[in-house]
Amino acid sequence: MTTTVVRPQQPSPAPATEGHPTTQLGTRDRYIDSLLSLALIFVMTYHVFGGRWLPIMFPAMGIMFALAGSVIASSLDRSPGNPWRVLKERSISLLSPMWLFGLVAVPTMLVAGWTHSQTAGVPLNWRTLLFWVVPISDPPGSKFGDDWVTPLWYIRSYLWFLLLSPATLWLFRHWPKKMMALPVSVVLLSALGLFPLDGRSGDVILSTAMFGGCWMLGFAHHDNKIRPLPLAKVLLGGASLMALGLVWAFTHPDPVTGWDIGDIPMANTLYCLGAVLILLRLHPGLSWMDKRVVIDKLVTVVTSRAMTIYLWGNFAIFLAITLLDSWSVTSNLDQESVVGYLQMYLASWLIIIGCVFLFGWCEDLAARRPPRINPWPRSKQQLEIMGTREMLTFARPTWSAGVTPRHPVIVASCLLAAAGAVWVAGLAGTNTPGRTATGDVQSRYALVPRPEAKPPANLGQGNGQESQPSEGLAKLKAAVFGPDKGTPPAKGIPPALTNSTPTQGSRVLPPVAANARVDLLTTTTAPVPPVGVLAPAPALPPPVTTTP
**Please, are residues 183 and 33 in contact by the beta-carbon 8 Å criterion?**
no
In the predicted structure, residue 149 carries a pLDDT above the cut 70:
yes
26 vs 463, residue with greater confidence: 26
Query: What is the dihedral angle through the alpha carbons of 416, 422, 423, 425, rounded to the nearest 10 degrees?
Result: 140
* Cross-strand partners of 388: 27
Q: What is the per-residue pLDDT for 143?
A: 85
Mean pLDDT computed over 338-342: 78
**Measured between alpha carbons, how far is 211 from 158 in angstroms, rounded to an integer?**
10
pLDDT of residue 490: 40
Range from 27-31, 233-237, 291-295 carrying the lowest mean pLDDT:
27-31
Burial label, 202 (beta-carbon count in 10 A; 0-12, 13-18, 19+): middle
Residue 126: which of 370, 421, 425 has the closest Cα? Answer: 425
pLDDT at 290: 75
Q: What value does the mean pLDDT take over residues 41-60?
A: 88
Least confident of 297-306, 354-363, 459-468: 459-468
pLDDT for res 369: 84
- Residue 19, pLDDT > 90, answer no
Separation between Cα atoms, residue 325 and residue 331, nearest integer Å: 4
- Own/partner pairs, 110-114, CB within 8 angstroms, 24+ separation: 110/142, 111/475, 111/476, 111/479, 112/142, 112/144, 112/145, 112/472, 112/473, 112/475, 112/476, 113/142, 113/144, 113/471, 113/472, 113/475, 113/521, 114/142, 114/144
Q: What is the rounded average pLDDT of the residues 419-444? A: 58
Look at residue 543 and tell me whether its pLDDT is greater than 70.
no
- Which of these ranges, 42-51, 346-355, 404-413, has the smallest mean pLDDT? 404-413
DSSP lists the bridge partners of residue 391 as 24
pLDDT at 393: 55
Task: Give 137's pLDDT tier (boundaries 50, 70, 90).
Answer: confident
pLDDT confidence tier of residue 145, bands split at 50, 70 and 90: confident
DSSP per position, 132-188? GTS-SSPPP--STTHHHHTTHHHHHHHHHHHHHHHHHHHHHHH-HHHHHHHHHHHHH
Band of pLDDT at residue 389, cut at 50, 70 and 90: low
Give yes or no for residue 535 having a pLDDT over 80: no
3-state DSSP assignment of residue 480: helix
Q: What is the pLDDT of residue 242?
A: 94
Higher-confidence residue of 240 and 18: namely 240
| Local confidence band at 103 (pLDDT 50, 70, 90 cut-offs) | very high
Which amino acid type is present at position 324? L
Q: Is the predicted pLDDT of residue 210 greater than 90, yes or no?
A: yes
What integer pLDDT is reported at residue 209 of this predicted model? 92
In this structure, the number of other CB atoms found within 10 A of the CB of residue 154 comes to: 22
Report pLDDT for 41.
93
The one-letter code for the residue type at 377 is P
Pair 519, 496: CB distance under 8 Å: no
Confidence of residue 185 (pLDDT cuts 50, 70, 90): very high
The yes-or-no verdict on residue 10 having pLDDT over 50 is no
| Mean pLDDT over the full length of the chain | 74
Q: Once rounded to an integer, what is the mean pLDDT over residues 43-47?
A: 89
In whole angstroms, how far apart are CA 77 and each of 5, 221, 272?
A: 35, 14, 26
Domain ranges of the chain: 35-297+403-427
Using an 8 Å Cβ cutoff, are 267 and 248 in contact?
yes
Question: How many beta carbons lie within 10 A of that of residue 192, not counting itself?
Answer: 9
The DSSP secondary structure of 177-197, one letter per residue, reads HHHHHHHHHHHHHHHTTSS--
Name, in order, each residue with C-beta under 8 angstroms of 450's C-beta and a sequence gap of 6 or more: 50, 52, 257, 258, 260
The angle subtended at Cα 256 by Cα 264 and Cα 181, nearest 5°, is 5
Quick one: DSSP state of residue 487?
P
Q: Which residue type is seen at 92?
A: I
DSSP state of 389: E
**Cβ–Cβ under 8 Å, residues 528 and 118:** yes
**Distance (Å, rounded) from C-alpha 215 to C-alpha 180?**
10
Calculate helix-pair angle for 313-326, 338-359, nearest 10 degrees: 120
Binned at pLDDT 50, 70 and 90, residue 150 comes out as: confident
Give the tens place of pLDDT for each residue, 232-291. Answer: 999 999 999 999 999 999 998 888 878 888 889 999 999 999 999 999 999 887 777 778
User: 356 falls in which pLDDT band (50, 70, 90)?
Assistant: very high
Can you give the pLDDT at residue 438? Answer: 53
pLDDT of residue 213: 94
Q: What is the dihedral of CA 362, 367, 370, 375, to 10 degrees?
A: -60
Residue type, 369: R
pLDDT at 427: 59
Model pLDDT, residue 193: 85
Please give the torsion angle defined by the CA atoms of residues 226, 57, 208 and 177, in that order, rounded to the nearest 10 degrees.
Answer: -30
pLDDT at 146: 83
Q: Assign residue 513 a region (left: φ > 0; alpha: ψ between -120 and 50; beta: otherwise).
A: alpha
- Looking at the predicted structure, is the pLDDT value of residue 353 above 90? yes
Report residue 487's pLDDT band, with 50, 70 and 90 as the boundaries: very low
Helix (H) or strand (E) holding 408: helix 406-427
pLDDT of residue 495: 40
* Residue 488 CB coordination number (10 Å): 10
pTM for the full predicted model: 0.73
Q: What is the 3-state secondary structure (H, E, C) of 308-323?
A: HHHHCHHHHHHHHHHH
Helix residue spans in 194-305 (DSSP H): 199-222, 231-251, 265-282, 293-304
Compute the residue count for the chain. Answer: 548
pLDDT at 156: 92
Could you give the CA distance from residue 534 to residue 478 in angstroms, rounded to a whole number?
Answer: 24
Half-sphere exposure of 84 (CA within 13 A, CB side): 4
d(CA 97, CA 109): 18
